[in-house]
Amino acid sequence: MRGRAVLALVGLLALFVLSGCARAPETGLRVGVLAPLTGPFASQGQAMQQSLQLAAEEINRAGGVLGRPVELLFGDSKGTADATRSEALRLIHKEKVNVLLGAYLSEETMAAAEVAAENRVLLMVPVAATNELNARVANEYEKYKYVFRTSYNIDQWAGLMGGFIADMGVSRYAFVGPNIRWNRELAQALRDYLASSGIAPVYEEFYSPKEPALEPIVVALKGKGPGVVVLGDPGQHAINFVKKARDLGLKAPLFSVGGALGDERVARTLPAGGPLYFQAAAWDRTSEEARRFFAAYRERYGYHPVGYADVLARDTLFVLTQAVNKVGSLDVPRLIQTLEQGEFRAACGVYRFDRSHQARWGKGEGLQGMVVEWKDGRAEERWPRI
Amino acid sequence: MEQELQLALSGLLAGFTYALVAVGLTLVFGITRVVNLSHGAFFALGAFVTCSVVQWGGRGFLALPLVFVLSLLLGMGLERWVIRPVRRHHAVVAIVTLAVAIFMEQIFQLVWGPDYQSIPRELPLVGFMGTLVDLQQIAAALVAVVLLLVLFGLLRTRIGMAVRLVAQDPEGAALVGIDVPRVQTVVFGVACGLAAVAGNLTAFAHSIYPAMGRVPLVMALAVVIFGGLGNVHGALVAGLILGLVASGVSFYVSPEWSYITMLLVIAVGLLTRPSGLLGRVGRRD
C-alpha cells in the first residue's frame, strides 16, 4: 500500500515536471504586457491590448522575431502600483517573459521600472509621461539601464502642445485639469515653454479628480477670455467639461491633451460652439504605416483609435522586435546597446533614444505628434502642416 | 450678479442629483440597516441602459421607466438572495455589497466595453435673466422632485406607515403582522430604482463608463451621513447644501478646494451635530 502511494507520488511529480517542460517557451519573444484592463483606466488598457494584438499579428505574418512568432502575455495593472508590481513579478517569474511592455499610468510605470531593474529585464514604456523615469535612468544608469520610453515625457509633451499654441497666434491661454501631479508638471512645463514666445496663462486651475464642480470653472473662464483653453485631462471629466463649456456659451478653442476626447464616437455626441482640438502621437497622415494601422484597427474594432496609448503601444512592440532582429538574439546587454544606438521606424515616425533612454520627440526630431480638430464629428489634421 | 445666479442655479441642480442618489441609500439604511455599497453601480446601470436606448434611436427620458423597473427587480433579487442571508452580520453585508458593485462593474465592461461613452442632450438651453438655463437639467431636477414627493407621500400612507414601523422597530412590526422581509426587499428594490433613475437623468451631462458609479456612491454616503443616517429629508437638504458649497468654493476660492471643502463641511457638521443635520439624537442603531 505504502509502495503504491510512493509510486503515485513519483508519477505525479513526473507529470508536474513534464508539464513544466511542455510549457517551455517555443516562441522567439515572450512579451509581458502591463496594462489596466479593469478599473477606471480600462478604456486605455483595452486600447493598448487591441493595438498590440494587431501589431503581433502583423509581425508574425511577416515572419515573427528570429523566425519565430511573438507571444503577448497580459497582466492587469488595474491602475495601481501594487497590482503592477505583482503582475510584473508574475510575468517574469511564472510566465518567463523576455521583456516587459507597459504600463499606462506614471505610478504604475515607476513600480514596473523597479521590478525590471531588480530582475534585469528590459522594460519598454509606451505611455507614461513622468520626467522622473528619465531622471532615474540618467542618475542611476547601471540600475535602470533596462528601461526605455517610446512615448513623450512631460517636457516633450509641453513642447508639442506649446508649438501648436504658439502657431495659433494667441497671446493668452488658460490651463484646466485634474489636480494630479502629472497635470501640474504639464502645466508648469507648458508655462515655461510658452514664456519664450510671450504667451502667458490668464487662468490656471486644477479641479478635484473625484467630483469636480465644472460649471464655476467655465463661468470663470468666460470672464478671463483666453485665446485657447488647454484641457489637461485625458479621462472622463474632459467629456463633461466640453459639454459644460459649450452649453454655457464658452466659445474659446478647447485644446485637449487627447485620450477620451480623441474618440470619434464621443466627439459625435459633443455640442458645437467652438473649435475642439486634441493632441495625438500620430494620425492618418503622419505616415503610411500609421494610415495602414488606423485602417486595420477600424476594420477590426469598428472605430478609429485615439492616436495615443493605442498607436504608441503598437509602435513600442515594433521598436522592440526590430531591435531583437538586429541583435539576432535575446541577449539583454546587446539589446540595450542596440536600442541606445539604433534608429527604428514605426507608425509615429523614427524612434531614436537619448542618454536617458527617452525617445526623441519634438520639432526636427523623427517624432513630432499631431494636432487634430473635430469638425462635425470628423477629424481634420491641423498641425504640423504636412 | 449674473455669474452668482448661474452658480446658484448650477449648485442647486447638482444638489438635486446628489439628493436623488442619497435618498435611496438612506432609505435602505433606515429600513434595513444595510449600507448598500452597490448603490453607485445601479446609478451606472441607469446611465448605461439610457445610453443604449439613445444609441438605438430612442429618447433618453423614455428609458426612465425601463431603468427603474429593471433596477427595482434586480435590487429586489439582490436583497432577497444575496443580502438577506447575511444581513445580521454588518461587516459581511458591507463586503457583500462591495463585491456586488465590483461584479456589476465587470458585467458593464463585458456588455458595454470599457470605453467612455456619451450621449447628446435632448432639450436646449434657454436664456433667463442673463443666465443660461439648462432645460434638460431642470427637467431632471423636476423628475427628481416629483419622485421624492411621491416617496414622501407614500411614506404617509398605510403602506408607508408599515415601512416606517419596520424602520423604527422591526420586531414590533413583525408582531403586528407586517411581513418585514418583504417590506425590506421592496424598499431595497425601490432604492436601487431611484439610483438608476438618477443615472438616467444625468446621463446626458456625464461620460458613461463602468466605474462611473464610484464617485456618486461616495458623494451619496457623505450626503447621507451629513443629513443624518436613515433620514430622507436630511439627505435632500444635505444634497442641496453640498451642491451649493461645491459650486461656490470652486468659483470664489479654487476648484481644487471644492471637494475637500465639502468634506470639511460634513466633518464640521457632524462635530456640531453628531446625528446629522436632521438626525435625531439617541436614535436606535
With helix as H, strand as E and coil as C, how does B219-259 read? HHHHHHHHHCCCCHHHHHHHHHHHHHHHHHHHHHCCHHHHH
Residue B260, domain member (yes or no):
no
The Cα of A235 is separated from the nearest Cα of chain B by a number of Å equal to 8
In the predicted structure, residue A4 carries a pLDDT above the cut 80: no
pLDDT computed for residue A212 by the predictor: 82
The per-residue pLDDT for range B20-45, each reduced to its tens digit, is: 788 888 888 888 888 899 999 999 99
* Residue A297, strand partner residues: none
By the CB < 8 Å criterion, does B259 face chain A? yes
Across the interface, do A271 and B120 touch by the CB < 8 Å criterion?
Answer: yes
For chain A, domains (ranges, CATH) are: 29-152+289-297+305-351 (3.40.50.2300), 155-280 (3.40.50.2300)
Nearest to B255 among A216, A238, A239 (CB): A216
The per-residue pLDDT for range B66-81, each reduced to its tens digit, is: 999 999 999 999 999 9
* Residue B128, strand partner residues: B131
pLDDT computed for residue A282 by the predictor: 97
- Specify the DSSP class assigned to residue A384: S
Q: Which string of DSSP letters, residue by residue, matches A164-210?
A: HHHHHT-SEEEEEEESSHHHHHHHHHHHHHHHTTT-EEEEEEEE-SS
CB burial of A95-122 (b: ≥16 within 10 Å; e: otherwise) equals bebbbbbbbbbbbbbbbbbbbbbeeebb
Residues of A in contact with B223 (CB under 8 A): none
**ipTM of predicted complex:** 0.80
Query: Could you give the number of structural domains in chain B?
Result: 1
B274, three cell numbers: 453628531
Q: When comparing pLDDT for A228 and A181, which is higher?
A: A228
Closest CA to B183 of B206, B209, B160, B157: B160
Residue B226, domain member (yes or no):
no
Question: Residue B185 belongs to what domain range?
Answer: 2-117+128-210
In the predicted structure, residue B100 carries a pLDDT above the cut 90: yes
In the predicted structure, residue A27 carries a pLDDT above the cut 80: no
For B:185-214, CB contacts with A below 8 A are 204-207, 209-212, 214
Q: Is residue A75 within 8 Å of A30, Cβ to Cβ?
A: no
Across the interface, do A249 and B215 touch by the CB < 8 Å criterion?
Answer: no
Residues of B in contact with A174 (CB under 8 A): none
Residue B177, domain member (yes or no):
yes
Q: Is B90 helix (H, G, I), strand (E, B) or coil?
A: helix
Distance CA A67, CA A61 (A): 11
- Specify the DSSP class assigned to residue B85: G
In the predicted structure, residue A215 carries a pLDDT above the cut 90: no
Residue B216, domain member (yes or no):
no
The Cα of B40 is separated from the nearest Cα of chain A by a number of Å equal to 14
The per-residue pLDDT for range B143-174, each reduced to its tens digit, is: 878 887 887 788 888 888 888 888 888 888 88
The per-residue pLDDT for range A345-370, each reduced to its tens digit, is: 999 999 999 999 999 999 889 999 99
CB burial of B88-125 (b: ≥16 within 10 Å; e: otherwise) equals eeeeebeebbbebbeebbeebbeebebbbbbbebeeeb
Average pLDDT of the residues in A36-51: 91
pTM, whole model, 2 decimals? 0.85
Q: Is residue B186 within 8 Å of B27, Cβ to Cβ?
A: no
Write phi, then psi, for B125 (nearest 5 degrees): -100, 145
What are the angstrom distances between the C-alpha of A281 and each of A127, A150, A258, A284, B235? 10, 11, 9, 11, 46
Q: What share of chain B is helix, strand, coil (3-state, %, to 5)?
A: 75, 5, 20
Q: Which amino acid is at B70?
A: L
Across the interface, do B125 and A211 touch by the CB < 8 Å criterion?
Answer: no
Residue B210 burial (C-beta neighbours within 10 Å; 0-12, 13-18, 19+): buried
Q: Is B148 helix (H, G, I), strand (E, B) or coil?
A: helix
CA B100 to chain CA centroid, Å, is 17
In chain B, count H helices and then E strands: 11, 2
Probe site for chain A from B116, B121, B214 (most A CB atoms < 10 A): B116
Across the interface, do A206 and B209 touch by the CB < 8 Å criterion?
Answer: no
- Residue A18: pLDDT band (50, 70, 90) is very low
* Residue A178, strand partner residues: A207
Residue count (chain A): 386
Q: Which amino acid is at A365?
A: E
The Cα of B203 is separated from the nearest Cα of chain A by a number of Å equal to 10
Residue B277, domain member (yes or no):
no
Distance CA B186, CA B80 (A): 9
Distance CA A366, CA A264 (A): 27
Residue B173, domain member (yes or no):
yes
Find the distance separating the first CA and the last CA of chain B, reported in whole Å: 46
Residues of B in contact with A261 (CB under 8 A): none
Q: Is residue B16 within 8 Å of B243, Cβ to Cβ?
A: yes
pLDDT computed for residue A25 by the predictor: 44
Torsion of CA A223, A237, B229, B69, to 10 degrees: 120
Residue B255, domain member (yes or no):
no
What are the angstrom distances between the C-alpha of A123 and each of A1, A96, A253, A299? 53, 14, 38, 30
CA angle A179, A180, A186 (to 5 degrees): 100
Probe site for chain B from A181, A239, A268 (most B CB atoms < 10 A): A239
For B:53-72, CB contacts with A below 8 A are none
- Residue A16: pLDDT band (50, 70, 90) is very low
By the CB < 8 Å criterion, does B130 face chain A? no
Q: Is residue A367 within 8 Å of A360, Cβ to Cβ?
A: yes
pLDDT computed for residue A19 by the predictor: 46
Nearest to B256 among A208, A235, A244 (CB): A208
Residue of chain B with shortest Cα separation from A248: B132
Write phi, then psi, for A83 (nearest 5 degrees): -65, -40
Across the interface, do A212 and B250 touch by the CB < 8 Å criterion?
Answer: yes
Across the interface, do B205 and A215 touch by the CB < 8 Å criterion?
Answer: no
Probe site for chain B from A50, A80, A175, A210 (most B CB atoms < 10 A): A210
CA B183 to chain CA centroid, Å, is 20
Probe site for chain A from B54, B55, B207, B262 (most A CB atoms < 10 A): B207
Sheet strands (E) in chain B: 125-128, 131-134
Size of interface A-B (CB pairs under 8 A): 130
Residue B103, domain member (yes or no):
yes
Place of cell 508648469: A188
Average pLDDT of the residues in A269-278: 93
In the predicted structure, residue B234 carries a pLDDT above the cut 70: yes
Probe site for chain A from B118, B247, B256 (most A CB atoms < 10 A): B118
Nearest to B250 among A210, A213, A269 (CB): A213
Across the interface, do A266 and B120 touch by the CB < 8 Å criterion?
Answer: no
Residues of B in contact with A213 (CB under 8 A): 10-11, 14, 246-247, 249-250, 255, 258
Residue of chain B with shortest Cα separation from A250: B132
| Beta carbons within 8 Å of B212's beta carbon, 6+ residues apart | A236, B43, B44, B47, B206
Across the interface, do B255 and A248 touch by the CB < 8 Å criterion?
Answer: no
Across the interface, do A211 and B259 touch by the CB < 8 Å criterion?
Answer: yes
Nearest to B7 among A39, A43, A216 (CB): A216
Q: Is A382 helix (H, G, I), strand (E, B) or coil?
A: strand
In the predicted structure, residue B63 carries a pLDDT above the cut 80: yes
Closest CA to B243 of B5, B15, B37, B13: B15
In the predicted structure, residue A285 carries a pLDDT above the cut 70: yes
| Beta carbons within 8 Å of B26's beta carbon, 6+ residues apart | B224, B227, B229, B230, B231, B232, B234, B235
Across the interface, do A207 and B215 touch by the CB < 8 Å criterion?
Answer: no
Closest CA to B97 of B37, B27, B28: B37
